[in-house]
Every structure is written in structure tokens, then in C-alpha cells.
Amino acid sequence: MQKLLAAVVKEILLLTRDLPGLAILFVMPVLLIIVVTLAQEKAMTNQVSKTSLLVLDQASTPLSESIKENIRQSGFFDIKQPDKDTEHRLETLKFLIEKGDFQIGLVLCPQDTALQIWVDPTLQVTYRLNLVHSLTYLIRAAQSKASLESMLLLLTGQNKSLSKQVMHSAAEKLPGISEHFALKSKSGINPTPIQNNVPGFILFAMFFIVIPLSGSMINEKNEGTFQRLGTLPVPFVSLLSAKVLVYLAVCLIQFSIMLMVGLWIFPACFGLPALELGSRYGGILLATISAALAAVGFGIMVGSFSDTHNQAAMFGSVMVVLLGTISGTFLPIHIMPRAIQWISHLSPVRWGIDNYLTLFIREGSISDILPNIMLLLLFFGFAMMLSIATFAKRK
């Protein structure tokens, strides 16, 4: 026990001397989650209700007015129009969008002969498609309404008042539309971007310990520390156990910091809803410890296979970003290709994120997360055995 405590003290000293490594472990995940969450909130708000739409109405017909009114009432777009005194208004519209002053424009051609949607070519593809699809649906709705009105006018013998009365009566009979979350009946959790982002960045932060952890192992190998310790009556398992204990504590601190960001910093500083943890605190503890052990095992495995800092830093950081990306940290998994979705089921980051989502949003029980906990513990055990075998072979 005394030897293990001495090894733990050694690991703490090595960790506290690496200030850049500590900054990566604690500061970087906090900055990432704040920036990504605020960007998502702003993007969602802008995409739904604040996108400026430059409209050039060359038709000035009832249909064009109906289209503009439909777009205006939707709340998706803020309609702007080119200056009426400007000559060559179509060229002006194209120039303003090309320059980036507007993201999207709509041209209603004379006599309702055509509609043209002009888009800023620098827009990100997903955002562009969402804008174009939303605008297309609104235009089609206005066109369908105009077609129905024309048919009713024809059927009622040009009686406008009767056709409007029929349309109004039919619209009132349409059922209302409401949104509901598929949660347990007694659940009071309201899913928000924070509920989804915090679990992802908890795992992302934990697995980033690969950089300082593998770096400390490489230093000890290159400086001969392992060889000198091997001459002492200290089991190699004790040395690895000390690393596991110290970096497990680091992961628990990271978890606590990320929870504080979700519970207090977002509501207090940015006016966003607070993270809701549910009521399964025992499950949260088990999910955190199992994810932390998997992250530590990954770091030790990378350190045991790497010979230089560059190898460990490049491979470790790239793998963490890759695992985080395919596991839903930055993008929803359901929008990825089927092959990537299948591969993500093999990622320990995905297992950890799914555990937190089950507890934070679905309010699942320990039995619901037990399969993923077992997978994380098996991954930790496999990584440790592989690391021990690698060190034994090198000896």
C-alpha cells in the first residue's frame, strides 16, 4: 500500500508540473462546450426566424403578394426588398447576395412566369439546403392555396365571397399541430441543446487525457524512469495502478467542471436553460466511473505503443476527435451515413454518451445503461492487458 501511495504522489507531481497539459484537460473542454452550444443556439434561432430574405417582386400580382405574405407570416424569414429607385434591380440583388450582405434572395418574375431562388455560394451545404427547402415549401403552400381558390371561383360561378367562406370554413376544421417529447409520463425534463451537448463534451474531455497521460509515460520511458523503478521492489502493476487512480480523479474533476458549466454558467451568464440531471444519481456515478476508466485505459494504451511525443499527441488527438465526431459530440448521429452510424456503435465515446443521454433525458435506470457500462469496463480491461503485454515484451 505504501508503494502504491508513493507512486500516486509521483504521478501527481508529474501532472502538476505540466501546466499546458492541465490547460488542455480543464480549460479547453469548457471553452469548446460554451462556444459550440452558443453557436448552435444562435444558428437555430437565425435559421428559424431571423434569416434576411431579399425579395424582388417583378410580378406584383395577387399570387406574388400571397407568396410574400405566406413567407412573412411563417416567421422563418425577415423580408427585405431592393431600393425601388435602383436601376437593374436583379443585378443589384445578385450583387448583394454574392457580396454576402444577404444569404438568400427570391425573384418573382413578371406575370408569375417563374420563381428564382438566389443563394450565397459560400453558405454551408446543410444550412443552404434547409433555407431553400423551407422557402420552397412556403412558396408551394401559397401556390396550392391560389390554385384551390381558382377552382372554387370556377365552381361557384365567380362568387368570391362564397369561395372565401368555403376556404375559411375548411381551414377552421383542420386539426391543430403540437409538438411532444417521447418521455416517461412522470418526467419533468425538457430536452435542450445543453442536455445533448454536455454528455458529449464530458466524454470528449475525458478522452483528451490521452495527451498528458501518454506524454508522461513517454518521458518515463525516454528518461529511464521505468528502468530505474524496475530495479526496485515495486510491482509494475502498482505503477500502472497509480496512473489509473490519479487520472481517474482528473476525469472526475472534469466531470464536475462540465456539470457546473451546464448547471450554473449557462443559465447565469448566457440566459440558457440549466442542465437537468434527472434522479438517477447512482447511475450517473457508475456511468462516469466506467467512462473515466475507459478513457484512462485508452491513454495508457497509446502511451505504451508510442515512442515519441509527436506520435502520441498526433495519434491520440486525432483519434479522440474522430471518435467524438462519429459518436455525436459535434453532429447528430442520425444525419451521418449508415456505415458511420454502424461504426459508431464500436466507439467507447458513443457508449459513454449514450449512458448519459439515457440518464439525463430518458431518465433510464441502471439496468438500462448496464450493457454499455460492461462494454466500457471490458474496453478498460483490454487496454490495460494490452499495455502490460507491450511493456513486458519491450523488457
The arithmetic mean of pLDDT across residues 99-110, rounded, is 88
332 and 291 both lie in a single domain:
yes
- Side by side, the strands of the sheet bearing 104-108 are 77-80, 51-57, 104-108, 115-119
Residue 146 belongs to domain with CATH number: 3.40.190
Q: Is residue 145 part of a domain?
A: yes
For residue 167, what pLDDT is reported?
Answer: 61
- Give CA separation, 315 vs 300, 301, 319, 328, 379, in Å: 13, 12, 6, 20, 18
Same domain, 152 and 213: no
Together in a domain, 383 and 256 = yes
Residues 136 and 198 in one domain: no
Q: What is the mean pLDDT of residues 159-167?
A: 63
5-54 tens-digit pLDDT:
777 887 787 777 777 767 778 888 888 899 888 877 766 555 444 688 89
CA distance 375 to 347: 10
Both 141 and 241 in one domain: the answer is: no
Which residue, 121, 141, 160, sits at the end of a domain?
160
User: Residue 66: CA atoms inside 13 Å, Cβ hemisphere, count?
Assistant: 14
Q: What is the DSSP secondary-structure string of 225-265?
A: HHHHHHTTT--HHHHHHHHHHHHHHHHHHHHHHHHHIIIII
The answer to whether position 242 is within a domain reads: yes
Q: Are residues 147 and 202 in the same domain?
A: no
Q: Quick one: 215 and 147 in the same domain?
A: no
Q: Which of 120, 145, 160 is the last residue of a domain?
A: 160
pLDDT average, residue stretch 124-132: 81
Q: 195, 189 in Cβ contact below 8 A?
A: yes
Residues 199 and 293 placed together within one structural domain of the fold: yes
Give per-residue pLDDT as tens, 266-306.
998 888 888 888 778 899 999 999 999 999 999 999 988 88
Same domain, 337 and 206: yes
Q: Is 351 exposed, middle or buried (0-12, 13-18, 19+ CB in 10 A)?
A: buried
Same domain, 225 and 352: yes
Residue 71 · residue 124 · CB < 8 Å: no
Closest CA to 251 of 298, 316, 215: 298
Domain count for the chain, please give it. Answer: 2
Could you tell me if 276 and 336 lie in one domain? yes
**For residue 246, is pLDDT > 80?**
yes
Structural element, H or E, at residue 54:
strand 51-57
**Are 209 and 149 part of one and the same domain?**
no
Residue 178 inside a domain? The answer is: no
Give residue 279's domain range.
Answer: 191-394
Q: Is there a domain that residue 236 lies in?
A: yes
**φ/ψ (deg, to 5) at 308:** -130, 165
Whether 168 is in a domain gets the answer: no
